[in-house]
Structure 1
């Protein structure tokens, strides 16, 4: 691909300027209609490339097919997947992408907010980027590299394959999903319609990495029913639901079991939302661990803490509801070793050292794997997700495009 004029960066710069933030409080599908603004752009670009079946369905999913061009009949159908939405944590409206060309290794000051400085000391992966071109936002928004870098890379790889028929490959399916950031990215995927054998999400971080293991994840919703009465006549009667909720939060350990105090294979209990009044309060948590046993232990711990606190409030009660979100995809992928082996070969062919990692989070691939579509995660070059200091390297994006093309080739060759 040395002489190829990559299109990924140009696409990316356009995509990030379309606000696609999802909303965890919405019950609609997709959670925000504005996600479809980008999906419609993707469909039109695919149609313009000559992909006749590119479509956007009512739920906000984009499906498309790159037809096979090999004479082999037994090549599996591979799917490449990325998500259109950006995190609810930081605004994605009015993104102003900036390319810091031939970055010289110094801290990057974002111009629209002087307090936002991408410091090399805080972003160790930047040490490998000296001389490269770094794309950031301007300081008041996230960038949207998570996951618009992946979208742009898949679209560029599609363009390459369609314009280079000498590169042999089987049928390839494309899937662009909404609402990944709110845990609903696969909720309305039509697996039968997708009709793929294996898949890869392009939604990872550092150059050359493949992730085949994720957290297992549950959500916990605690509804606390207190005893309400007029505060002027409350002595010996009032049991304030907000105070009960606050007691539970205060009982969580300060130096363990939280996202800010854990790393590597350690899980956590993380409060994400609190609302209510003296009569009733709601607490929402996400629970994470790499094993289901660890997940259950953390949920039992939280339930026991709640029960202990309620002994001080004899008139109050609480409902503790656990909802499964996703499970560690490694349990599925270990049954299909060729998926990872072929991706490693594709990464090496791009001139990179292949590195296996675990994700302290989840991807659409987690749920797709348990829906019958085994799906590890490939790097897209995204860094500092969900923050105003998000960045991606132009050179890393080009390598990701090459890896996607190589994956298609490797599957054809080895079938």
Structure 2
């Protein structure tokens, strides 16, 4: 059963969250530095300070922007695995994270929520079905001009609160716990500089999921595709029969993509897609970038072959031009790893049930740090943090869901101790 101390525990997650979201930690996909923005360390430094104030003496921030910390074991058992809890400090580049003004809508009555700094921003119940479960709860939003940052500062605050619980309740039995806060998850580089030897954990959990009670143990597999086109450039006044415009070659390729399938806007469930994300160039040279997503390696390869074949067909009409398609692996479906370690998922599902919730396994049409960590040797599914409508000005999270996430983190550590 859930530890009785949680019934009377004074949660700190919301107070922490309200502080954290006011620190701008937006990452930058165009940056080549690690972390991609120095301001992410502003929050990371605060986390180290708060952890040290709790009495976690080894909390540290490294040069790459990663926070590591240890909660020592309280069990006498020798064989309890070391568990890592992980969240990311950065917010999405899609919407500004500067000047966030969090608002708590207490005892929410079920009506659409209009955000005060831009009345055009309305969180409609019809657009957010999970809201219907929140009547009477306290909903936190931004003010309408920024994102909120619940993705993933809700997870950060929940892990910090769970750490506070463990430190103030040494009677709760658990093994060694490692905390990891990463930068740059939103730009796909969240695990790039993780020192797995220093981390020293056996299994992990990212706290970066959506709906209450959910555990995500399957993700897209992901590749990036770059197509570099070399056209034939000449003066447009003397171009007849000579000019082969690289921009037009790129445009022809984009125009061949199906309108009613294979795109993010036309797929759901287990369907993958081909998604153009960047286009630049001139008549001489052009570059197209895509992200390719599917739940299987075969599905990825089929989509990449599809693009290559379309490109080849188009180049027949431009005999003097050439193009190179290159594929860069981004991440793979974590399920390949997690299926080899069933206890990682089973113990988390039990922890969710002990919090009085209905546990639900889901797949993510996306990826998390856990995808890469799993393939780096740390099997790592994703537990809900309560964040909703991420990467938008309509982002929201409920106080009660955040507190349940804290319960689940505490329960996970206890379940591992009991079953070891």
| TM-score of the aligned structures, taking structure 1 as reference length | 0.99
Deviation at 1:234, TM superposition (A): 1.6
Determine which of 85, 91, 94 is the counterpart of 2:96: 91
Determine which of 369, 373, 381 is the counterpart of 2:378: 373
Distance, in Å, in 1 between the alignment partners of 2:22 and 2:280 is 33
Distance, in Å, in 1 between the alignment partners of 2:182 and 2:60 is 12
Query: Is 2:67 the counterpart of 1:62?
Result: yes
Q: List aligned pairs for 1:192-231, cutoff 5 A.
A: 192-231=197-236
Q: 2:25 aligns to what SS in structure 1?
A: coil
Distance, in Å, in 1 between the alignment partners of 2:47 and 2:238 is 62
Determine which of 136, 148, 172 is the counterpart of 2:177: 172
Deviation at 1:247, TM superposition (A): 1.2
Partner of 1:311: 316
Task: Give the aligned CA root-mean-square deviation in angstroms.
Answer: 0.7
Listed one character per residue, the Cα deviations across residues 175-220 of structure 1 (whole Å, up to 9, x for unaligned) are: 0011111111111111111000000000000000000000000000
Listed one character per residue, the Cα deviations across residues 290-320 of structure 1 (whole Å, up to 9, x for unaligned) are: 0000010011111111111111111111111
Partner of 2:275: 270
Query: Is 2:232 the counterpart of 1:241?
Result: no
Partner of 2:156: 151
Moved more, 148-157 or 308-317: 308-317
Q: List aligned pairs for 1:14-413, cutoff 5 A.
A: 14-413=19-418
Q: 1:286 aligns to what SS in structure 2?
A: strand
Distance, in Å, in 1 between the alignment partners of 2:120 and 2:319 is 48
Distance, in Å, in 1 between the alignment partners of 2:208 and 2:82 is 20
Distance, in Å, in 2 between the alignment partners of 1:83 and 1:275 is 31
Moved more, 8-17 or 239-248: 239-248
Deviation at 1:4, TM superposition (A): 1.1
Structure 1 residue runs of 5 or longer lacking an equivalent are none
Runs of 4+ in 1 over 2 A off after TM superposition: none
Distance, in Å, in 1 between the alignment partners of 2:405 and 2:84 is 15
Deviation at 1:265, TM superposition (A): 0.3
| TM-score of the aligned structures, taking structure 2 as reference length | 0.98
Distance, in Å, in 2 between the alignment partners of 1:248 and 1:89 is 26
Deviation at 1:26, TM superposition (A): 1.1
Distance, in Å, in 1 between the alignment partners of 2:282 and 2:123 is 40
Q: What number of residue pairs does the alignment pair up? A: 415
Deviation at 1:330, TM superposition (A): 0.3
Listed one character per residue, the Cα deviations across residues 61-95 of structure 1 (whole Å, up to 9, x for unaligned) are: 10000000111111100000000111111111111
Moved more, 228-237 or 151-160: 228-237
Distance, in Å, in 2 between the alignment partners of 1:310 and 1:85 is 41
Deviation at 1:397, TM superposition (A): 0.2
Distance, in Å, in 2 between the alignment partners of 1:288 and 1:228 is 34
